[in-house]
Amino acid sequence: MALWSREALKQGAVMVAPMLLGSVIRSGDVAVRLTEVEAYEGFRDPGSHAYRGPTPRTQIMFGQAGFAYVYFSYGMHHCLNVVCGRTGTASAVLLRGGEVIDGLEVARNRRNAGRSQGHPDRDLARGPARLASALGVDLHHKGVDLCDPASIVQLEMGSPSRSRRVETGPRVGVSGPGGDGTTYPWRFWLGGDPTVSTYRAAKSRLPRSRQEH
């Protein structure tokens, strides 16, 4: 299966994100067909980690397209992004959900480890942290070239026949300095697909004792 070309990814996250639906992210034995993604930009996007400019963590987003940006979140989860756009701009697509199409046993073992109740198969990669977990991706995979056939993690083009309706909406859980209102409708998913995560608005961060007043 052919991999995504770096040139195509240079178009930028907002252009690339809907085109990634139906594509396949493969990490070792496990492969996931993408059904839900979100686009993030840099300075003009308050929801982006790169909004305030490059830091050691976000530097890779300002680099060449086609590399993996992985971040550690909420003290326990990992999320996987594909860096897009031209070098010098911060642009990335967050992989939010998909269907495990290869390595089902490995994915089940990873996701259900230490849990009394197993997840249904359609939940194995439903949500960004679940997807990374199913793939076995963590901070060690940050900076991997997804366009290199020698890499441990690769981004494959989907089969052209898989045409479904692409739907669009606000991104999930994005707060940012300006609040939810400043977010863009940059969440893309395949309508009706059971592996698309359920929408959750950004959690209110003020404790109850400080909300009154």
User: Which residues make up the interface to DNA (CB under 7 A)?
Assistant: 38, 40, 47-50, 52, 55-58, 61, 69, 71-77, 79, 81, 92, 94, 111, 115-117, 119, 123, 127-131, 139, 171-176, 197-198, 200, 202-203, 205, 208
CB of 169 to DNA, least distance (A): 14
CB of 29 to DNA, least distance (A): 20
Nearer to DNA, 53 or 149 (CB): 53
CB of 80 to DNA, least distance (A): 9
Nearer to DNA, 31 or 37 (CB): 37
Q: Alpha helices of 60-113 — where are they, by DSSP H?
A: 104-112
- Cα distances (angstroms) measured from residue 88 to each of 6, 21, 79, 83, 182: 15, 26, 22, 11, 23
Q: How far apart, in Å, do the first and last CA atoms of the chain sit? A: 59
- What 3-state DSSP class applies to 13? helix
Task: Give burial (CB, 10 Å; 0-12/13-18/19+) of 185.
Answer: exposed
Helical (H) or strand (E) element with 153 = strand 153-156
CB of 59 to DNA, least distance (A): 8
- Contact between residue 167 and residue 87 where contact means Cβ atoms under 8 Å apart: no
Residue 146 in tokens: 């997804």
CB of 2 to DNA, least distance (A): 25
Nearer to DNA, 26 or 142 (CB): 142
CB of 184 to DNA, least distance (A): 12
Nearer to DNA, 26 or 171 (CB): 171
Q: d(Cα 210, Cα 72) in Å, to the nearest integer?
A: 28
Residue 127 in tokens: 């949500």
Nearer to DNA, 24 or 68 (CB): 68
Nearer to DNA, 161 or 198 (CB): 198
